[in-house]
A = this chain, B = another copy of it.
Amino acid sequence: MSKRDTRYVCLRIAGEGGEGVISAGELLTQVAARLGMHVATFKTFPSEIRGGMAVYQLRTGPDRVLSQGDYLDILVAFNREGYDRNIADMTSEGVLVHDFEPGDNLPVKRRGGVDYHVPMGKLAREAGSHRAKNMVALGAICELFGFPVEGLTEGVRLKFGKKSEKVVEVNLKAIDLGAEYVRENHEIRHELHFSEGDGHARVVLSGNDAVAFGAVAAGCRFYAGYPITPATEIMEYLARELPRVSGRMVQAEDEIASIAMCIGASFTGQKSMTATSGPGLALMSEALGLASMAEVGLVLVDVQRAGPSTGMPTKAEQGDLNLAIYGAHSTAHRVVIAPVDVEDCFYQTVNAFNIAAKYQIPVIVLSEQSLGFSKASMPRPDFENLDVFEEQYARMPTDGDPWPKVDELTVGEGYPMTPVFPRYLRNDTGISPRSIPGMPGMEFRATGLEHDEFARPRYDPPNRKAMLNKRQAKFEEVRREYGEQVEVIGDDEAEVAITGWGTTAAVIRHAVTRALNDGASVKAIFPKILSPMPDMAMRHHLHGVKRVICCELNDTGQYANIIRHRYGANVHAVLKDRGVPFAPGEITPYIEMAIKAQVRI
């Protein structure tokens, strides 16, 4: 087993909802990123509106934080329940910072580690408000683990400065008191220490932030959506920012209207997006087919949550891959992309818009509850060099340069050639010239019926075949353009490969990185696009592989089945569907077993 990399620290704050757990965690995260630390977070809050436990966890280190890791190093418990419910997740050598009498008969006893008692409530009241308990905790954390207190005080000023000077004062006092209490009452009995930042100030976004922001960067100027957990933040961000850049955000009456509005706006040339979760994606299935058939590009973000039906709306699951790929009557092509972490959410969203515009096709971005809600640090994107596709519309023909001829054979009897705009012109790439309302001389009627190159309804077999092929050709173009984009880490010659998608890919990366450090022969393969699958590259990387581990958060192995039927691979599916993400330590044993050829395929 690989030794823990002690340069990474995983800290969890736990308390009642309303005690400021989340805001303390977010402040710490923000400050860490500003100082150039790498940080990734995870939070849960009670699924009912009020009451219950709130938990905020962050992991930091000197380099990219691959996942939340397996165990807590530090638990900051605002009360007994915070301890009881979280202590099982801490290593036995972990550090506990708490505000309760450990003398109480604790149901779970620790078998090692270091405890520090800090009377957070009491000190908060001393500082001027019982609500500053969380700041006392932060002060103590600075003192205990070498987190730069100046950064924190600066952070408090930035965050609360506008609100009121009084709040700033109370909070700073509370931080002081927390730090002071530790200095005066505790001797440091642990080794854990936050690693220093590299000085490159980073920004902190949640997966939902990164998608929403990425949309703006990609040129999205129309959004329509209907609120649904855990996707609502995307809409709320765009409600604030789209109008500033002359965009429009409409809260639709339901999900069907949302996607229909996007189809309408895209038809006029606006880059459009909607975001939803599983139940909404299901409702959109029919209209998505229209987008495919009428060849209208748009981006649909599905922040997956645990189902089926309403299921567990605040819990994690990767259960919508089948629906995204196969959720259509007949063949309705759509591209499916699943970002693996927050930074990827940004770039894949830009990617999604580019594909949607270039290929005139709907693109589904499969995010996930635990990704949508967790914040992580990332470098500011280089906007100058960001690849944003700008569509070239068709131009009116001139004498010397007329519209391309359509195939007389498929136009056929009873369907005369006419000089109207050949909106669905067939060509090698399947990508037809497009005009948009307002362009004179190139009027056409978009349609969800089968049609010919002039967009006229047609049901005869030769035309049907031609148009099916055209749409398929376009899909194959996407496969070709993105066919190389498969991330591979590890040993090229390995007989064991591990693969996964979305958030699970990030955890697999972590597990594989560890295994490689231990000298294991394994490779990890992550396709960037899940549909169309990058077959060439996948076949190449799977060549010579004897056993494939597929990990995903659902109970039927949706992705594993694809790997099986497309590549005939020997797949062992490692599935989890309890509403919580994988930890790398849950994956490691399967890698080991696969290497020893012990997995049952």
Contact = CB atoms under 8 A, between A and B. Distances in A.
Contacts of A545: none
Contacts of A568: 564, 568
Contact of A329 (B279, B465, B468): B279
A499 interface: no
Interface in A271-329: 277-279, 281-283, 285-286, 289-290, 292-294, 304, 306-312, 314-315, 317, 319-320, 322-323, 325-329
Interface in A380-417: none
A263 to B, nearest CB: 11
Contacts of A256: 283
Contacts of A293: 307-311
Contacts of A39: none
A36 to B, nearest CB: 36
A126 interface: no
Nearest to A318: B330
Nearest to A462: B578
A322 B558 CA distance: 12
A464 interface: yes
Contact of A449 (B311, B330, B465, B554): B311
Contact of A332 (B309, B326, B472): B309
A102 interface: no
A47 interface: yes
Contacts of A289: 279, 282, 307-309
Contacts of A285: 282-283, 285, 323, 327
Most buried by B among A293, A329, A472: A329
A310 B451 CA distance: 11
A500 interface: no
A308, A317, A319, A555: most-surrounded residue (chain B CB, <10 A): A308
A331 interface: yes
Nearest to A306: B330
A450 B565 contact: no
Contacts of A286: 279, 282-283, 309
Nearest to A319: B330
Given A450-B312, A565-B565, A307 B329 contact: yes
Given A283-B283, A461-B578, A468-B577, A328 B307 contact: yes
A597 interface: no
The bracket for how many chain A residues form the interface is: 35 or more
Nearest to A570: B568
A562 B315 CA distance: 29
Contacts of A292: 308-309
A253 to B, nearest CB: 14
B315 A330 contact: no
Given A464-B579, A468-B577, A307 B331 contact: yes
A322 to B, nearest CB: 4
A309 B459 contact: no
Residue from A289, A294, A461 whose CB has the most chain B CB atoms within 10 Å: A289
A330 B320 contact: yes
A561 interface: yes
B323 A327 contact: yes
A18 interface: no
A556 interface: yes
Given A282-B285, A309-B294, A311-B448, A461 B580 contact: yes
A274 to B, nearest CB: 15
A17 to B, nearest CB: 15
A461 B85 CA distance: 13
Nearest to A568: B568
A150 to B, nearest CB: 41
B330 A327 contact: no
Contact of A304 (B329, B472, B579): B329
A283 B325 CA distance: 16
Nearest to A458: B312
Interface string A320-349: 101101111111100000000000000000
A331 B308 contact: yes
A565 B565 CA distance: 4
A330 B308 contact: yes
Contacts of A449: 309-312
Contact of A310 (B282, B448, B461, B468): B448
Contacts of A558: 326
Contacts of A322: 326-328
Q: Considering the complex of A and B, which 9 residue pairs feature the smallest CB-CB distances, nearest first?
A: A278-B329, A307-B330, A319-B330, A309-B448, A565-B565, A308-B332, A461-B578, A322-B326, A293-B309
Given A293-B311, A310-B448, A464-B577, 15 more contacts: A283-B285, A290-B309, A292-B309, A293-B310, A304-B329, A306-B450, A309-B448, A311-B330, A322-B326, A330-B554, A331-B556, A331-B577, A461-B579, A464-B579, A564-B568
11 contacts: A293-B307, A307-B330, A308-B448, A309-B448, A311-B450, A312-B459, A322-B327, A323-B328, A464-B577, A465-B577, A562-B565
